[in-house]
Structure 1
Amino acid sequence: MEKIKFMSEELQEEVEFFVLEQTRVSGVSYILVTDSEDDDAECLILKDTSGEGEADSLYEIVEDDVELAAVSKVFEELLEDVEIER
């Protein structure tokens, strides 16, 4: 599992996550991440909000219920053996 580092604006510190999967929906990139490799770990869906052509990606946690439900369904289909509880 790939591990990536993020700079948290709120905490002003580096946070590490494991990337479980990535996808694009309607031209927007999303990644499914977790802070642990355990089977029942909590996960987050992050949305790339950076502009096209920007060198660095800017990810935000998906909080909109409709968007979260739609993207969760896509990740569940991609991972087959994973159930995402919202």
Structure 2
Amino acid sequence: MDGMQEKIKFDTEEGAVEFFVLEETRVNGCNYLLVTDSEEEEAEAFILKDVSDASEAEAVYEMVEDGTELESVSKIFTELLEDITFE
């Protein structure tokens, strides 16, 4: 996973969490981020969906948990990043 530079901070109920942004895409008018919690080769990756209102100053992201949506968006990220494998 070369080229990871951007790191973003999320505030959760458990406290602040930082993720490395691998890629972003827009599907059906929704923005998605592919993020990871580590720069290691076998790191866990998560897909986040922007659920914020257009009038909000900052984006609000939630983890994609719907199986159909997760599968669909993960296929797009797989095409964008040829060296990524989802399990």
1:1-86 aligned within 5 A: 1=4, 2-8=6-12, 10-11=13-14, 13-85=15-87
Distance 1:82 1:60 in 2: 21
Matched residue pairs, number? 83
TM-score, structure 2 as length reference: 0.92
Runs of 4+ deviating beyond 3 Å: none
**Structure 2 gap segments, 5+ residues each:** none
**Structure 1 gap segments, 5+ residues each:** none
Q: CA RMSD in A?
A: 0.7
SS in 1 for 2:69: helix
SS in 2 for 1:39: coil
SS in 1 for 2:73: helix
- Aligned-partner residue type, residue 45 of structure 2: C
**How big is the shift at 1:53?**
2.9
TM-score, structure 1 as length reference: 0.93
